[in-house]
Structure 1
Amino acid sequence: MSSPASQNPLIYPLLFIMPVFMSSNIIIGRYAIEQTEPWTLAFLRWLLAFIILLPFAHKQASAAMPIIRANLKLLLVMAFLGMWICGALVYLALKYTSATHGTLIYSAAPIVIMVLEWLFRGRRISPREAVGIILAVTGVAIIVTKGSLANLLTLQFNWGDLIFALCMISWATYSVLIRQKALQDIPVMMLFATLAGLGALLLFPFSIMEMIFVAPLPTSMPAWLSIAGVAIVASVLAFSTYQYGIKMVGASIAGLFMYLLPPYGVFMAVVFLGEELRAYHFMGFIPIMAGLILATLPVAALRRLGNSQAQCLTRSCPTPERFPTARTKTPAYNRSRTRYRSKPTDRP
């Protein structure tokens, strides 16, 4: 059975880029929430995301609609977890707590994902994955505590932190549910467009009440640019790459790349917000990367690659089976320049 990396060699580089899109939600959202209320911002975010995705997903609608109708309740639950809670409540939490606290709480999502899969799917956590998680958590703790144990011991939680904890548990549950076999036949774009549309539908009544009783729609160009930013970068790109990663390597492995949120977030804060880069940022980044590599590196594939390279160095490099040469004897090939007698089972 082929590994996900052999099926798509770009899956792991894609997962390394995914946290950039995720981190942008805090950077852009921090600015947007000053001009737009939480439920209105979340509603506009997912409405615009749905409109953007619709042209890419409509061709797949006819084949996917029977599956969507059969699993509508599950999709509504996922839209509530991933778009309602992890949308509006994240922006609400940013009004009461810092992005650092939110990042620390969200970093526990992979652990919750593994626990949920252990509880409900009987998944076993290997020693290599456990060590990788410990290393990654250590790196996250170094960054969010600025390399000081005293900061860790004096860390206090407020209402914003508790809301972030709820969002983290909701995100972990969403990540596990999206691996349901019933949803595997729905194309990624169609699945995400459906969830974005359902999420906007669930957020709509709360947004209307917010616009009536709290604040109307924003009118400034910077506010709408920030809304477009969270819709395109933090929604379409972030969720599409994350969902594709979950389908390819599983929720536990894809969730581990969430540990890259702190270093990516710090880098973006330095570039876009003018914050200073300090030594503890590098001290935390090293164990995070070490933990990710230890827990996700496809060792078997590297061994096969190493063996192949070693054979090539000794002038006994094997001929690929996909491209038979004149010296390669295959049962389907006739030397008299006739056609293949049987249909090839593996085409280049």
Structure 2
Amino acid sequence: MRRLYDNPYLVLAATTMIWAGNAVASRLAIGHISPMLLVQLRWVGTLAIMVVVAGHAFREEWPAIRANILWLVIMGVIGFTGFNALFYLSAKYTTAVNIGIIQGSIPVMVLIGAFFAYRTAITGLQAIGIVVTLIGIVVLATQGHLELLLQMTFNFGDLLMLAACLGYAIYTVALRNRPKISAQPFFLGLSLVALASSLPLASAEYAAGQTIWPDWQALLIIAYVAVFPGFVAQLLFMRGVELIGPGRAGLWVNLVPVWTAVLGPLILGEVFAWYHALALVLVLGGIAVAESGKRA
């Protein structure tokens, strides 16, 4: 087991498969639990685990956490609650395959964000990669019928997922100025913010009469998203970064749409159409070109 944990490729492959499984879980949850209640209960589960794992370290680093509480609140709302709320809501309107492919655009969004925030130089190859990736997203959103651009009839779920990815990209860019807090207490703090900020969303859903209380299948889904995407994947990704560095580890997020394109049809029976394949090639190809430009 230790040998597996010391292998960055297996660690990061497992991480991205878990993230892809989150997209599948969001689709399986439809009709069994409402999206905002799922967000809230996910953070209840993850927070319970984090309190056990990092509660002592959190108390030790409380002065630093308290000094940076506003930063934690903003980033927790944008990167955790906002991302997950839009992520699970988008599953009502689009497929797990679409969710996974759009999620693969996050690295390019981060590249653009870093340019505007820090004036990080963008090379010619990176610019080409950005354009190719955006074309892939357009192909996906229009289901290969580009004439829909003139009618502005995009899949609503795809747009929600794009907004989720944009928020997570902003969160990722902001991590460059992360407070000097250890990883686990830092994650525990964000989890607290995520749970607190999910309460109004779940309350609004209840007030609108749209709450679906979880059945047995939903309880299994909650357990999965709390334990695996919410906790295990975070630890595995930290381990991957520790082994090969953040730059190389970050590239592995591009594997998420590949896993989702496999898991969606296998588990959910979703159709993998020609425009999915084209969008997948364009998104991953664009990211690969952008990253080759970064390395150059």
- For structure 2, the residue ranges without an aligned partner over 5 or more in a row are none
Deviation at 1:50, TM superposition (A): 0.5
* Post-superposition CA distance 1:75-120 (Å, at most 9, x none): 1111111222111122222222333443443333212211111222
Q: Against the structure 1 CA distance between its residues 94 and 124, is the aligned structure 2 distance closer, same or farther, given a 3 Å change threshold?
A: same
Name which of 177, 185, 202 aligns with 1:207: 202
Q: Spell out the pairing of 1:132-171 with structure 2 (5 A cutoff).
A: 137=133, 144=140, 150-151=144-145, 154=148, 156-171=153-168
Partner of residue 112, structure 1: 109
Q: Is the Cα–Cα contact under 8 Å of residues 142 and 280 in structure 1 kept in the other structure?
A: no
Q: Is the Cα–Cα contact under 8 Å of residues 116 and 176 in structure 1 kept in the other structure?
A: yes
Structure 1 range deviating more: 188-197 or 8-17:
8-17
Name which of 77, 84, 106 aligns with 2:74: 77
Secondary structure at the aligned position of 1:186 is classed as coil
Q: Is the Cα–Cα contact under 8 Å of residues 85 and 170 in structure 1 kept in the other structure?
A: yes
Partner of residue 335, structure 1: none
Secondary structure at the aligned position of 2:45 is classed as helix
Partner of residue 15, structure 1: 12
Partner of residue 273, structure 1: 268
Partner of residue 232, structure 1: 227
* Post-superposition CA distance 1:172-191 (Å, at most 9, x none): 00111223142xx3222221
- Percent identity over paired residues: 24
What is the CA–CA distance in structure 2 between the aligned matches of 1:120 and 1:158, rounded to whole Å? 30
Deviation at 1:237, TM superposition (A): 2.5
Structure 1 range deviating more: 49-58 or 90-99:
90-99
Q: Spell out the pairing of 1:26-175 with structure 2 (5 A cutoff).
A: 26-126=23-123, 137=133, 144=140, 150-151=144-145, 154=148, 156-175=153-172
What is the CA–CA distance in structure 1 between the aligned matches of 2:63 and 2:101, rounded to whole Å? 40
Partner of residue 254, structure 2: 259
What is the CA–CA distance in structure 2 between the aligned matches of 1:79 and 1:261, rounded to whole Å? 22
The answer to whether 1:179 aligns with 2:199 is no
The answer to whether 1:194 aligns with 2:194 is no
Partner of residue 337, structure 1: none
Structure possessing the higher radius of gyration over alpha carbons: 1
Q: Against the structure 1 CA distance between its residues 244 and 124, is the aligned structure 2 distance closer, same or farther, given a 3 Å change threshold?
A: farther
Q: Against the structure 1 CA distance between its residues 16 and 294, is the aligned structure 2 distance closer, same or farther, given a 3 Å change threshold?
A: farther
Deviation at 1:22, TM superposition (A): 1.2
Q: Against the structure 1 CA distance between its residues 209 and 143, is the aligned structure 2 distance closer, same or farther, given a 3 Å change threshold?
A: closer
Which one has more relative contact order, counting CA pairs under 8 Å at least 6 apart?
2
What is the CA–CA distance in structure 1 between the aligned matches of 2:90 and 2:271, rounded to whole Å? 25
What is the CA–CA distance in structure 2 between the aligned matches of 1:103 and 1:139, rounded to whole Å? 16
Partner of residue 324, structure 1: none
Structure 1 range deviating more: 50-59 or 272-281:
272-281
Deviation at 1:218, TM superposition (A): 2.3
Amino acid at match of 1:58: G
* Post-superposition CA distance 1:204-228 (Å, at most 9, x none): 1321342354255625211111111
Q: Is the Cα–Cα contact under 8 Å of residues 82 and 164 in structure 2 kept in the other structure?
A: yes
Amino acid at match of 2:259: Y
Secondary structure at the aligned position of 2:176 is classed as coil
Q: Against the structure 1 CA distance between its residues 188 and 87, is the aligned structure 2 distance closer, same or farther, given a 3 Å change threshold?
A: same
Structure 1 range deviating more: 34-43 or 207-216:
207-216
* Post-superposition CA distance 1:140-188 (Å, at most 9, x none): 679959xx9x545657414333322221110100111223142xx3222
Partner of residue 295, structure 1: 291
TM-score normalised by L of structure 2:
0.78
Q: Is the Cα–Cα contact under 8 Å of residues 131 and 291 in structure 1 kept in the other structure?
A: no
Secondary structure at the aligned position of 1:67 is classed as helix
Secondary structure at the aligned position of 1:179 is classed as helix
Partner of residue 327, structure 1: none
Secondary structure at the aligned position of 1:196 is classed as helix
Structure 1 range deviating more: 68-77 or 91-100:
91-100
Higher fraction of helix = 2
Deviation at 1:280, TM superposition (A): 8.8
Equivalenced residues, count: 287
Secondary structure at the aligned position of 2:61 is classed as helix
